[in-house]
Amino acid sequence: MINNEFTSSRTETDAGSFYDRIANLYDITFKFNRYEHSLADYIQKYPLPLSFGSRVLDAGCGTGLLTLVLLKNFDIPIKITAVDLSASSLTTAKKASEEATKGRRRSTYFTQANLLSLPFEDASFDMVVTSGALEYVPIGDGLRELSRVIAPGGHLLHIPIRPSLMSRVLELMFRFKTHPPEEIEAHTNKYFRIVHQYKFPQIEPIGWTKTIILSQKV
């Protein structure tokens, strides 16, 4: 079900309507750059701290690429909630996840929401995953809100954009702002203990622009 009731500022609404226009282009671009494959490799190397029935939130899920990685790489049932500002991205995400989970017992719920004011109680999730979405909001505000909905001892899997020449190009194409790594780290340390920071192999296209920070809510 896609719930259309949400509040957001003008800038955030802009990000949502921008992605409403480019959802298909974004989805195709990222299917060609081995994004899913690189994330699946990471999960193989570092199994995520999830167990039977874990509640996971994908914040800024877009067309559902990260949600799909979780659905395809976990044999145990987990409950995924995925939110985004962009209604057409959510429609694509929902369709793809239904196809990926056909015949398997999986709980996935998509709803339209602003990650700066999530419509969930405190401590509602065991893990929040987020990739390429915090670049559209002030990093401190975003991490504070994500931390609010994570249960104590739960985890944040954050896949931020890292500064690089390629990221500059993506910033212009996708209208976001890369946060300086030291700012991300400082804000993360306010609410979390960093478990590890992972650099993708440079041979993988995702490694040109992204990194992974796994942290635990303190």
Ligand X SMILES: C[S@@+](CC[C@H](N)C(=O)[O-])C[C@H]1O[C@@H](n2cnc3c(N)ncnc32)[C@H](O)[C@@H]1O
Q: Which spans of this chain sit near ligand X (rule: CB under 6 A)?
A: 12, 15-16, 19, 30, 60-62, 65-66, 83-86, 89, 114-116, 131-133, 136-137, 174
* Residue with Cβ nearer ligand X (168 or 193): 168
Query: Minimum Å distance from CB 25 to ligand X?
Result: 11
For residues 201 and 186, is the Cβ–Cβ distance under 8 A?
no
Shortest Å, Cβ 72 to ligand X? 14
- Minimum CB–partner distance for residue 142 and ligand X (Å): 8
Q: How far is the CB of 113 from ligand X (least distance, A)?
A: 6
Shortest Cβ distance from residue 88 to ligand X (Å)?
9
User: Given the complex with ligand X, which of 152 and 172 has the nearer CB atom?
Assistant: 172
Decide whether 153 or 214 has the Cβ nearer to ligand X.
Answer: 214
Cβ-closest residue to ligand X?
Answer: 62
Which residue lies nearer to ligand X by CB, 71 or 133? 133
Q: What is the DSSP string of the chain?
A: ---------HHHHHHHHHHHHHHHHHHHHHHHTTHHHHHHHHHHHS--S--TT-EEEEET-TTSHHHHHHHHH-SS--EEEEEES-HHHHHHHHHHHHHHTTTS--EEEEEE--TTS-SS-TT-EEEEEEES-GGGS-HHHHHHHHHHHEEEEEEEEEE-B--SHHHHHHHHHHT--PPPHHHHHHHHHHHEEEEEEEE--TTSGGGGTBEEEEEEE-
167 vs 188 by CB, closer to ligand X: 167
